[in-house]
Every structure is written in C-alpha cells, then in structure tokens.
Amino acid sequence: MMTARSILVAIIVHSVATAADNWPQFRGPDASAVATNSKVPIEFGPKKNLKWKTPLSLGHSSPCIWGDRIFLTGLDQGKLETICLDRVSGRIIWRQPAPVEKVEPAHRIGSPAAPTPTTDGERVYVSFGSFGLLAYNFDGKEQWRHPIPAPIVEFGTSSSPVLAGDRLILASDQDMGSFILAVDKRTGKKLWSTPRPEFRRGFATPFIWKHDGVEEIVLPGSLKLVSYDAADGKERWSIRGMARVANASPTAGDGLLFAVSWNIGGDSGDRLKMPARAEFFAEHDKNKDQKLSLAEYPGGPFKDRFTQTDVNKDGFVTMTEYESMSDQFVKAENCIMAIRPGGKGDITDSHVVWKHNRSLPYVSSPLFLNGRVYTVRSGGMATCYEAKTGTVVYRDERLGVLGDYYASAIVGGGKIFLASQKGTVIVYQASSAPEVLAMNDLGEQVMATPAVVANTLFIRTEKHLMAFGE
C-alpha cells in the first residue's frame, strides 16, 4: 500500500514530467518550434530507429502532445474526427467524430483536417472549418462546442487555435467576413470577436508574443501584420507591406518579432497588374450587366484567380470586387521583417528593425535559434539571418532535396529538422552554413510539422504517425 508521502512524491514527479514532456500546440512550447534538452536520432526511417508506426486517417494537423497523450485530427471516409493516441506505444486510445453536417471544400493538396489541436493539460481544443471549435477532456468526453459558420473560401481552413491564458484564440480570414475570436477555454463562450473586414483569405496561425509583461496576439493577413490585445481583442498596432495571402506564422527571439509573407505577384520583378476596370469590363462584359461570369473572363493569370476575385462566391465578379483585387496586387509586398515591441497604431515607419524582400518561404514558418532566423523556401533553398541586424549569414543554399516544403522547421538536440512534401526529412546543423547531417526518406508524403517530446521525434505522414528514437 502506498503511504501518503509516497503518493505525494508520485504526484510531484508526475507534475514535473507533465510540465516538461509536452508539445502543446502547433510548433510546440510557446510556438517556438524548439525542443530543449532533447536527444533525438538524426538518422531514422521505416527500418531505422522506428519505435512505432500507427495507421491514421487522412489529415494535415500536427501532433499535439501532453504527458502520455497525443492528439490529432483526421478525415475518415468523409467523417471528421479527433484522435487520441498513447505516446509510448502509439495505440489509439479514443476517436471522436465531429458533429459536421457538410465537410468544407479544401485545396487539391489541402485537407479539412488541417488545424492542429492545442491543449492546456486538462482539455484538448480542436478546430474544424466545417464546424467550429470543440473541447474534450483527456478521456475523450466532449466538454463544450462552439459552432462557427464555414468560411467563405474554396481552399479550406488551416489556421490552428492557440491559447492565451484562459482564452482560446481562433483566426478566420476568408474572402468575406474575416474575424479573430476569443472564447473562454473552460466553457467555450465568446469573450470577444474582432472583425477584419479589409482582410481576405489567410491561413496563418496567430502567434502569442510575450514580452515586457505583455501578451499580444500577432496575426499576418492580406497586406498587413496586426497585433491585438489578448484581453479585449482591440488592435494594438499594424504594419503595412505584406503579401496578398498569409500562410506562415510569426516567431520571436532576442526581443524581436519575425514575420514572413510570400505569394505570387508580390515580388518586384514578378508583379501582376490587372487592366483598368473600365477597359476590362468594356471589352469582356458581353451582356453589359456590369458583372463578369467565368465564361466571360479571358484566359491567363487573372482567370486562374476568378474564384478569389469573386468575393461572395455567387459566380460573378462585380466591378467592386474587381477593383478590390486589383488594389491587392498593387499593394502586395513579399518580405521577411523584424519588429521591435512597444508600438501603437501604424508602426510601419517606426518599429521595423530590418526587412528583406527575396528568398522567402511560401508556407513554412520562420525559425529562431541562438540569435539567428532560419527559413527554407520551395526547392529546398535555405537562408539564415542574424536576428538583431538582419545581416544575411547565407542565402538560398541548397539542402539537396527539391520540391515544395509545407511543414515548418523544428529543433531537436540543437539541430534543425525539416520535412519536404515528398517525405524526406533533412537534418542540418544550425551554423554559418547549412551543413546537412542526414536525409531520411520516410516513403510517404509529409505536410504536417513534426514534434519532439522526451527524446522522441513524432512525424505525421500521409497515412501514418511515426515515432523515432534511439
């Protein structure tokens, strides 16, 4: 029989382990993507250093880990679900279907199960664009639900929920009706909701920037980066000069915030300029009803963006919608920037410490580690900056694996782990040159960002969740 003293010791030991051994959200503790004091193998694969491999339903959400539990979402035979696995064995403990009547559309390489769950150690919180927010306890019992209308965008939802104290934060940038929302994490009741009417579709996860005793929510979007007060959702500051569509999430270090944004048409030598509205409609509005159908649109890059220009998705582009998209192309700017804290209002000209406009990632978020900022763009091209000055340490260095990169880089054991879409995980040294230490082919596509807990690397592939460790 356990004595009162032994029970107390067991509780303390469990509490310490629980606090240390977790990866509670997209990109881990504080969304830093860094696992401290971890020792994970740099060489691994289906036949090397594999601890377990569990088949999963389809999805792009990343592992959310607390203690001995792993949480993910998936799409199984047209049904969205939340999945809980045992961290040690990989055994599925429970699955809970989401109360979804109709699954939202998604990009051809996207997924309706893309947002990563988050947890505070008591509940796990999940988001589906097809339903809204749900909370479960660790035994899989639903605690509350907060329905939200499906977003008006044909590419689906990707932004993950995040916790700011007792508030659960969710961003929903769409072609019409964008907003950022906070609900009480205990009850799911709305605390505040801030409209973002000038913002179009966006897929970035909000970043909780903690500094100087302040906790603010930073969210990149169409043409601007904005900070909100976590307490009431009021705008604190904004910065002009971002891309049309935001995918990557910010990060922070050395007292600075780092944000990156890239999209087609935002580079100085590759800008798309839409024809003047009057001329365009005069030439192509055949029935003179002051709106254009898809059939009336001429071929080329603008027809490819018909659904983006058609804000309300009624099958027609009005003159107002056309002018709005044209304005987006004019003002869009691809960049990576560093911002110092303490600003209010428009701080574009006062708080940007440094900025670069080339060699930018599309989806993969930037990584801060030991005074430097690391990024990787499509084609496996790595770039590194000195965090405080923006001095380029190296630029567009090839890592040796071509193709696209949708997962964000993470750090384990002081080394950078980066998964390509093709399923090759590159491990390279965080130094003055991207010294590649290993290339690990998992044999399956990877879209989700890996996680590291207790000397184990967890990677979600197209069909499995894999755990690697020595």
Residue range 95-105, pLDDT digits in tens: 999 999 999 99
The whole-number pLDDT of residue 16 equals 38
Q: Give the up-direction half-sphere exposure of residue 118: CA atoms within 13 A in the CB hemisphere.
A: 26
Checking if the pLDDT of 299 tops 90, the result is no
Task: For 364-421, write each residue's pLDDT tens digit.
Answer: 999 999 999 999 999 999 999 999 999 999 999 999 999 999 999 999 999 999 999 9
| For range 354-368, the mean pLDDT | 97
Helix axes 319-331, 277-284, angle to 10 degrees: 130
Domain with residues 277-330, CATH architecture:
Orthogonal Bundle (1.10)
Task: For 457-467, write each residue's pLDDT tens digit.
Answer: 999 999 999 99
The whole-number pLDDT of residue 13 equals 38
Task: For 320-336, write each residue's pLDDT tens digit.
Answer: 988 888 888 889 999 99
User: Backbone phi, then psi, for 355, in 5-degree steps?
Assistant: -155, 140
| For range 279-293, the mean pLDDT | 91
> How far is residue 374's CA from residue 384's CA, in Å, rounded to a whole number?
5
| For range 229-252, the mean pLDDT | 97
Do residues 451 and 63 make contact, with C-beta atoms less than 8 angstroms apart? yes
Q: Tell me, what amino acid is at 186?
A: R
| For range 410-433, the mean pLDDT | 96
Buried b (16+ CB within 10 A) or exposed e, 307-326: ebbbbeeeebbbeebbebbb
> How far is residue 359's CA from residue 376's CA, in Å, rounded to a whole number?
8
Q: Tell me, what amino acid is at 408?
A: S
Checking if the pLDDT of 431 tops 60, the result is yes
The whole-number pLDDT of residue 385 equals 98
CATH of domain 21-268+332-468: 2.130.10.10
Task: For 1-22, write each residue's pLDDT tens digit.
Answer: 444 444 443 443 344 344 457 9
Task: For 54-65, write each residue's pLDDT tens digit.
Answer: 999 999 999 999
The whole-number pLDDT of residue 330 equals 86
The whole-number pLDDT of residue 337 equals 98
pTM, two decimal places: 0.92
| For range 265-274, the mean pLDDT | 77
The whole-number pLDDT of residue 15 equals 40
Nearest to 469 by CA among 171, 158, 142, 45: 45
> How far is residue 248's CA from residue 220's CA, in Å, rounded to a whole number?
8
The whole-number pLDDT of residue 20 equals 52
Domain residue spans of the chain: 21-268+332-468, 277-330
Here the tokens at position 209 are: 């920037």
| pLDDT level of residue 264 (50, 70, 90 thresholds) | confident
Collapsing DSSP states into helix, strand and coil, what is residue 322?
helix
301-306 long-range contacts, Cβ below 8 Å, gap at least 24? 301/272, 302/272, 302/274
> How far is residue 331's CA from residue 14's CA, in Å, rounded to a whole number?
53
